[in-house]
Amino acid sequence: MKYRQAGDAGPLLPVVSLGLWQRFGEDGDPLTQRAIIRGALELGVNHFDLANNYGPPPGGAEIRFGKVLQSDLKRQRDSIIISTKAGYPMWPGPHGAGGTRKHLLASLDQSLGRMGLDYVDIFYSHRRDMDTPLEETMSALALAVRQGKARHAGISSYNVADTHTCIQIARRLNMPTLIHQPSYSIVNRWIEEDGLLDALGKERVGCVSFAPMAQGLLSNRYLQGISRDSRAALGKHPKPKVITVDFLDRLSLLQALADRRGQTLAQLSISWALKDQRVTSTAIGVSSVAQLRENVDAINSVQFTTGDLSEIDDLFLDWQMNMWRP
CA distance 299 to 25: 28
d(CA 48, CA 74): 14
Domain assignment present for 246: no
What residues form DSSP beta bridges with 19?
A: 49
Task: Determine, yes or no, domain membership for 326.
Answer: no
Question: What domain range is 86 assigned to?
Answer: 3-217+274-288
224 lies in a domain?
Answer: no
Number of domains in the chain: 1
- Please, are residues 154 and 83 in contact by the beta-carbon 8 Å criterion? yes
Does any domain span residue 122?
yes
Domain of 173: which CATH number? 3.20.20.100
Q: 88-95, long-range: CB within 8 Å, 24+ apart, which pairs?
A: 88/51, 88/52, 88/53, 88/126, 88/127, 89/53, 89/58, 90/52, 90/53, 90/58, 90/59
Tell me whether residue 313 is in a domain. Answer: no
Inside any domain, residue 251: no
Q: Is residue 235 in a domain?
A: no
- pTM recorded for the entire structure: 0.95
pLDDT per residue as tens, the chain (326 positions)? 999 999 999 999 999 999 999 899 999 999 999 999 999 999 999 999 999 999 999 999 999 999 999 999 999 999 999 999 999 999 999 999 999 999 999 999 999 999 999 999 999 999 999 999 999 999 999 999 999 999 999 999 999 999 999 999 999 999 978 999 999 999 999 999 999 999 999 999 999 999 999 999 998 888 876 666 555 555 566 666 788 999 999 999 999 999 999 999 999 999 999 999 999 999 999 999 999 999 999 999 999 999 999 999 999 999 999 889 99
Residue at 234 is within a domain: no
Pairing of strands 16-19, 120-125: unpaired
Cα distances from 21 to residues 3, 28, 94, 154, 235, in angstroms, run 22, 11, 25, 18, 16
- Taking the CA of residue 156 as centre, how many other CA atoms within 13 Å lie in the half-sphere pointing to its CB? 26
What SS3 class is residue 55?
coil
